[in-house]
């Protein structure tokens, strides 16, 4: 057994990494190959239930796209019937379908399988590698999730880790993990904004760091903005040019489009250092009986111009978080850059109004999150946490008449306990249902029902006043409810989920 060691896992949309503190208290990163510390979050199903994970699977995105799942974390724990899924599912060559529980599932070899299986295989693989590094099997872990992750998405990742044989000691928001890493690196007393622009999402988190303790002040970002949007933007422009010059529209061929996305990404990365680079995919399509190449020169300036709207969106998300906390950019001591896409010079330049940036020597953009998770794991093993994370989205209840009450506001620190006096409940003799839901957007039109609480008559009828509902959110982001009566009675009540996430 791993003797109290806790594995920190950053299960990312694009890449997955893990780290831990060994028995001597030394930080260990988990190598995936020689000097490589991250593993592509890709699973290739090559026959029935046989699968390969990581670098070996990544090459299959082009060879066998319909059986190769990548970026699947975007869909994990999301309802199939949602705007997000309708908008994104057709961009992938693998098939996202509705599972029997209503959540996104995938279709391979004639079977509909839950997406938690993909997460499970990735977490299992990185854990196997970690066991090898530690020389002993891990039984406990800390997981990181995007700030915007709903309670359901957190539950889906937790379940995948449990299936891989791990007890989840804690869950923390990715930027908070990065800040925890930062806080332990320097032990500063500062206000920092963690700007995390990875492959799939942008998270911006404002926090104070004091004596190695991190307190989150506000979070925000853009769940639809990440490095892959930059890649798509390049492809979009070049495919349009190709159409104009060659009269061939490549958009209808998903395999060709996937090859172009790969080529665009590598050129984008190269242009973070070079001034110009060629995007070249040989023999992309046949025209008039002969193969033609896809070949364009792209300069850094052109890349920056085409991606300007994306960069502006990223900057606007930062301003929004600052506004929510009532701070200005010049009151932030340091902007901590996390996520591979922050290596793009134009992204950094757009944020130059912040007085100080972390350099990648200080905070490794790709590994900081996994290290932060390892730090929380070490702290939890010692019985401290060194952390005050926040709940990204409000949790509310709906009363029988349809009116709603917010119980836990967005940006509440976790763990937290909030109460609400249940005034005006019907005095009839049957249980009264209260629907507990999480608002997925600011306008609260997009809601995720978490379950129903039945308030039995004994809490309402003839007890001399309204009962109180108490909702508590733990550090593991598990929600619990209690009822308290005016005459001092208190009891835990179940939040019954009519359509739970499938666990298999
Ligand atoms: P992460 O999720 O942190 O691994 O970030 C992955 C994203 O960062 C992908 O979209 C990559 O294309 C992008 N990325 C990685 N390195 C660079 C670079 N040097 N310049 C621009 N983007 C990069």
CATH of 7-224+318-390, one of 3.50.50.60, 1.10.3720.10, 3.40.190.10, 3.30.420.40: 3.30.420.40
Name the residue of 341, 342, 345, 349 to mutate for ligand 1: max ligand atoms within 8 A of Cβ: 341
* Contact (CB, 8 A) for 79 and 450: no
- Buried residues in 231-241 as b, exposed as e (16+ CB within 10 A): bbbbbebbbee
Distance in Å, CA 463 to ligand 1 centroid = 60
Alpha-carbon distances of 275 from 70, 102, 302, rounded to whole Å: 30, 47, 10
Using the structure block, give the residue that is written with the tokens 């680079």: 277
> Strand, helix or coil at 311?
helix
Distance in Å, CA 340 to ligand 1 centroid = 3
CA 207 – CA 214 distance, rounded (Å): 7
CA 200 – CA 469 distance, rounded (Å): 37
Parallel, antiparallel, or unpaired for β 68-70 and 42-47? antiparallel
Residue 110: CB atoms within 10 A of its CB come to 6
The DSSP code for 4 is: T
Distance in Å, CA 269 to ligand 1 centroid = 7
> Strand, helix or coil at 256?
helix
Domain with CATH 3.90.640.10 in the chain: 227-306
Distance in Å, CA 16 to ligand 1 centroid = 13
Distance in Å, CA 15 to ligand 1 centroid = 10
Distance in Å, CA 37 to ligand 1 centroid = 15
CA 173 – CA 388 distance, rounded (Å): 11
Using the structure block, give the residue that is written with the tokens 């791990």: 166
- Ligand 1 atom nearest residue 200's Cα: 2
pTM (whole model) above 0.95: no
SS3 letters across 124-160: HHHHHHHHHHHCCCCCEEEEEECCCCCHHHHHHHHHH
Closest by CA to 138, choosing from 146, 126, 147, 130, is 130
Distance in Å, CA 477 to ligand 1 centroid = 29
Using the structure block, give the residue that is written with the tokens 């993990």: 177
344 lines ligand 1 (CB under 6 A): yes
368 lines ligand 1 (CB under 6 A): no
* Contact (CB, 8 A) for 194 and 203: yes
Give the architecture-level CATH label for domain 395-493: Sandwich (2.60)
The DSSP code for 77 is: T
Q: How far apart are the first and last CA of the chain?
A: 26
269 lines ligand 1 (CB under 6 A): yes
Domain with CATH 3.30.420.40 in the chain: 7-224+318-390
- Ligand 1 atom nearest residue 12's Cα: 2
131 lines ligand 1 (CB under 6 A): no
Q: Which CATH class is domain 227-306?
A: alpha beta
The DSSP code for 331 is: G
Q: Give the CA-trace dihedral at 169, 173, 179, 180, to 10 degrees.
A: -10
Name the residue of 340, 367, 368 to mutate for ligand 1: max ligand atoms within 8 A of Cβ: 340
340 lines ligand 1 (CB under 6 A): yes
Report the pLDDT value the prediction gives residue 360, as an integer from 0 to 100: 66
Distance in Å, CA 344 to ligand 1 centroid = 8
**Series of mean pLDDT values for 10-residue runs along the chain (504 residues):** 81 93 93 93 90 93 88 92 86 89 94 96 98 96 89 94 95 86 77 89 87 80 88 95 94 85 93 95 89 93 97 95 92 89 95 84 80 92 78 89 90 89 87 91 72 92 87 88 90 86 71
268 lines ligand 1 (CB under 6 A): yes
Report the pLDDT value the prediction gives residue 1, as an integer from 0 to 100: 46
Which pair of structure tokens corresponds to residue 233?
A: 């933007």
Backbone angles phi, psi at 317, to 5 degrees: -65, -35
Model confidence pLDDT, tens digit, residues 447-459: 888 999 999 998 9
Q: Could you give the residue ranges of the DSSP H alpha helices within 188-250? A: 227-246
229 lines ligand 1 (CB under 6 A): no
CA 476 – CA 45 distance, rounded (Å): 31
């Amino acid at each position: 057994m791993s003797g109290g060691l806790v594995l920190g896992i950053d299960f990312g949309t694009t890449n997955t990494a893990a780290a831990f503190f060994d028995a001597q208290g030394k930080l260990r990163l988990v190598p995936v190959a020689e000097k490589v510390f991250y593993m592509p979050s890709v699973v290739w199903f090559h026959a029935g239930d046989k699968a390969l994970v990581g670098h070996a699977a990544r090459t299959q995105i082009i060879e066998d796209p319909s059986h190769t799942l990548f970026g699947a974390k975007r869909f994990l724990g999301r309802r199939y019937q949602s705007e997000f899924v309708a908008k994104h599912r057709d961009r992938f060559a693998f098939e996202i379908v509705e599972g029997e529980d209503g959540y996104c599932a995938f279709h391979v070899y004639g079977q509909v399988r839950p997406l938690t299986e993909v997460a499970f295989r990735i977490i299992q693989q990185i854990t196997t590698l970690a066991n090898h590094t530690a020389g002993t099997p891990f039984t406990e872990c800390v997981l990181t999730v995007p700030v915007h992750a709903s309670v359901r998405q957190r539950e889906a990742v937790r379940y995948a880790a449990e299936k891989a044989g791990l007890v989840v000691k804690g869950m923390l928001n990715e930027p908070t993990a990065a800040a925890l890493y930062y806080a332990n690196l320097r032990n500063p007393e500062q206000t920092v904004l963690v700007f995390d622009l990875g492959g799939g999402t942008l998270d911006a988190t404002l926090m104070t760091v004091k004596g190695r303790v991190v307190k989150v002040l506000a979070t925000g970002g853009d769940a639809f903005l990440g490095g892959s949007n930059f890649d798509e933007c390049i492809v979009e422009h070049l495919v349009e040019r190709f159409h104009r010059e060659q009269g061939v529209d490549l958009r209808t061929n998903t395999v060709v489009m996937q090859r172009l996305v790969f080529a665009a990404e590598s050129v984008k990365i190269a242009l973070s250092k070079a001034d110009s680079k060629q995007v070249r995919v040989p023999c992309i399509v046949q025209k008039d009986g002969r193969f033609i190449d896809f070949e364009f020169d792209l300069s850094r300036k052109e890349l920056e111009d085409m991606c300007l709207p994306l960069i502006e969106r990223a900057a606007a998300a930062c301003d929004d978080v600052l506004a929510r906390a009532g701070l200005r950019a010049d009151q932030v001591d340091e902007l901590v850059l996390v996520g591979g896409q922050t290596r793009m010079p134009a992204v950094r330049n757009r944020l130059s109004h912040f007085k100080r940036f972390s350099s990648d020597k200080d905070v490794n953009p790709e590994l900081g999150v996994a290290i932060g998770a390892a730090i929380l794991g070490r702290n939890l093993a010692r019985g401290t946490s060194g952390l005050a994370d926040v709940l990204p989205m409000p949790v509310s209840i709906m009363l029988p008449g349809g009116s709603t009450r917010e119980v836990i506001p967005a940006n509440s620190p976790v763990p937290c306990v909030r109460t609400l006096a249940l005034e005006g409940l019907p005095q009839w003799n049957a249980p009264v249902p209260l629907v507990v839901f999480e608002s997925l957007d600011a306008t609260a039109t997009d809601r995720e029902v978490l379950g129903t609480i039945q308030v039995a008559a004994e809490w309402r009828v003839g007890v001399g006043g309204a009962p109180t509902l108490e909702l508590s959110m733990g550090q593991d982001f598990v929600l619990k409810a209690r009822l308290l009566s005016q005459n001092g009675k208190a009891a835990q009540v179940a939040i019954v989920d009519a359509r739970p996430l499938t666990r298999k």
